[in-house]
Amino acid sequence: MKSIQNVEFFENQLIEDGRGYFRRIFSSLDAVSTETINFVQSSVSFNKKSGTVRGMHYQASPSNEWKYVTCLKGKIFDCLVDVRKDSSTYGITHCFEMSEEIGLSVLIPPGVAHGFQTQVDETYVHYQMTDIHRPELARRLLWNDVNLNIPWPLDVTSVSSLDLKGEKWPVAY
C-alpha cells in the first residue's frame, strides 16, 4: 500500500518492569516532516463499543493543523485520506492497525483526513494537535463513501450524526 506524503509513523518503545510499563509516545527529536512541532491542544477519545467509527476528519485552510495520534488502550483500524489537491499522493487512502500492544503513533499533516474504527470495546485514542479546534473549519469526508472504498473491518455499530453528513469524494484542501 502506498504511503501518504509527509505522514510519519513512530514505533514507541516499551520499557517494562514489575510495576507495569513506561512508553514515550512523542519526542520532537523524532519528527522529521517539520522543523518544529508545537502542540497546543491534546484530547482523548473514549469509545465504548467495538465497531464505532469516528471520521473522516480534517481542518480546512487557513488551519495548518498537524495531528499526532496514538491508541492508548484497545485497538483501532485507522485510516488516512490525502485531500491536498497539490500533493503527489492526492486521493490515496492508507489504512493500518494501532493498539496499546502495537505501540504505534502517527503524525498526520494538514490536509489529510483521519478516522478510525474501534476493534474492541473500551478503546482510548489520544490526539495532540498543532492548532486549536475551530468548528467553522471542521470538515468531514463521508466515512462510507463508495468512491473512497475504505475497508472497515467490522460492522459499524455507532457513527455520530455529524459524520453521517460528511462530504462525498472528491474534495480538495
Write out the catalytic residue numbers.
Answer: 57, 127
Grid cell digits, residue 155? 460492522
86: helix, coil or strand? coil
Extended beta strands in 12-122, E state: 14-17, 20-23, 41-47, 53-59, 67-73, 75-82, 93-99, 104-108, 112-118
- Cα 25 from Cα 137, distance rounded (Å): 27
